[in-house]
Amino acid sequence: MSDSKLHWLIPLLLLTGVAAVLWFFLKDGEEPVPVASPAQPVPAEVKPASPRHPLPPTESSPSDLIPLPPLDASDEYFELALIDLFGADVDRLLVDEALIEKTANSIDNLTRSHVAERIRPLGSIAGPFLVDTRDGSDTYTLSQENYDRYTFLVNMLASADTARLTETYRRFYPLLQQAYVNLGYPDGFFNDRVVEVIDHLLETPRPEDPILLVRPHVLFQFADPKLEALSSGQKLLLRMGETNAVRIKQILAELRPQVAAIG
């Protein structure tokens, strides 16, 4: 299990009403992150003719907005929007290229077992993966200090204006949709996938503390096989601690109806 590389916090909140976050990792001690295989197109027989969750229209008039750049020239524009939303500190976390493409790809992979490092839109933050040892046992527990490392990101998200988050998401949605189609979903709708990911994260279980870890080799894993089998996004919520996870779920629950007009 690795706290390695912040990857989904900003994407998820940016993409869930500009829910662009859930997503941090440091190279600490999780299972290795393999290169994810390309996403498979939606089978023809289940291709949706229209989105299940239509994105509510923007309140801004198209004539009032600066036209979006092409996807392959959007990094600087998107980065400035994120800085405007979350403050200058977010700039040091962002990758240098393909920011929208990596954001869409990371969101799509949050329900799966791994999010490959090469597709994460955020870089790393300093600090080791922290655990506490248990006397007379070959198990470990997550340290409170490990939970504390996530607090500044959670605070950053919680302080952002929800209305501006959702408006920014709608503003950049055409580029996010294009990036999603390029992943291998020619008839898919990115906002449908965002809603699915939000619902998946809201279903993350709340195990009782302490959460036990084992270290069968070099890397840590959850001792409970059911927890170890959770998705990358759900395990991240567990690793950030209950207090932070509850705050993130509250943000996601608030954002969901703003990006899902139906359902």
pLDDT for the residue 1: 53
- Residue by residue, pLDDT tens for the chain (263 residues) are 545 444 444 444 444 333 333 433 333 334 333 333 444 454 444 555 688 888 766 555 444 567 899 999 999 999 999 999 988 888 877 877 889 999 999 899 899 886 655 555 565 555 677 888 887 788 999 888 888 888 888 888 888 888 888 889 989 999 999 999 999 999 999 999 999 999 999 999 999 888 899 998 888 899 999 999 999 999 989 988 999 999 999 999 998 988 886 65
Per DSSP, the three-state class of 140 is strand
The reported pLDDT for the residue numbered 121 is 55
Q: Give yes or no for a cis peptide into 210 (omega within 30° of 0).
A: yes
At residue 6, the pLDDT reads 45
How much is the pLDDT for 58? Answer: 59
| Under 8 Å between Cβ of 23 and 244 | no
For residues 85 and 167, give the distance between their C-alpha atoms in angstroms, rounded to a whole number.
11
Q: Phi first, then psi: what are they for 21, rounded to 5°?
A: -155, -40
What pLDDT score does 15 carry? 47
Joined together, the tokens standing for residue 4 give 């390695």
- Give the integer Cα–Cα distance in Å for 31 and 18: 29
Which amino acid would we find at residue 198? I
Phi first, then psi: give them for residue 22, nearest 5 degrees: -65, 95
